[in-house]
Amino acid sequence: MQVDYCHNGSEGLSLLAERDYQLVVLDVMLPEMDGFEILTAIRRVNTVPVLMLTAKVEEGSKVYGLRLGADDYLSKPFSINEFLARVDALVRRYTALNYAIKPESLQLTYKGGLIIDMLSRTVTVHEKAITLTPKEFDLLYYLAANKGKVFTKKQLYIQVWHDQFAFDDGNIMAYTSKIRKKLEAANNEINYIETIWGVGYRFNPEV
């Protein structure tokens, strides 16, 4: 891997505007702008995967970062092996074409004008683009590709985050809520993601 290192948020945002990156590793504690401010600025214009590093172990801090659009979170202290494993997983997931996906599943079309395109990793409703973070897209695509099937939060975490040992109940709830809000803003007549109380979530089988 080729890595560019930045000492502050301004420098990092400038590089991100000039070059294409496969991953951003973002520390929360930085001079001038903290990691949350930088993440907010990134998400205004870019859907690049973001792995956040922080010494803050409080659940609120972690959930806040995820709600702002972080794709994964690693709390200090951590082992270099775990860090590299998460980096590898994020880069692999967002840069390699998954040839195991059936051709007919590359573009999913549903009622209300919703189209989910795996190749371009885009989501549109009545031809209007819906901006999703990479992790939001993965979660929506997985649910939509398995329309009508009910998944527990842990099942979704394993399938989308590929990590059964770092399961975070609040993580799934935060991402599902953000996806719903974005879809509802484009079409509030259809509830695409349904909550099955006491179990988990499913993509509406009626669409």
CATH number, domain containing residue 160: 1.10.10.10
Residues 108 and 77 in one domain: no
* Residue-level pLDDT at 101: 47
Lowest mean pLDDT segment, chosen from 6-10, 19-23, 49-53: 19-23
Closest to 178 (Cα-Cα) out of 72, 71, 69: 69
Residues 8 and 70 in one domain: yes
Residues 70 and 110 in one domain: no
Residues 124 and 68 in one domain: no
> Using omega within 30 degrees of 0 as the cis cutoff, is the peptide bond preceding 103 cis?
no
Residue range 107-129, pLDDT digits in tens: 899 999 999 988 788 999 998 99
* Residue-level pLDDT at 141: 92
* Residue-level pLDDT at 56: 64
- Give the residue from 96, 131, 155 where a domain finishes: 96
What does residue 202 show for φ and ψ, rounded to 5 degrees? -150, 160
Residues 84 and 184 in one domain: no
Q: How many domains does the chain have?
A: 2
Q: Which domain holds residue 21?
A: 1-96
197: Cβ–Cβ under 8 A, 6 or more apart, which residues? Answer: none
How large is the average pLDDT for residues 137-155? 90
pTM of the model: 0.54
pLDDT at 166 over 60: no
Residues 88 and 133 in one domain: no
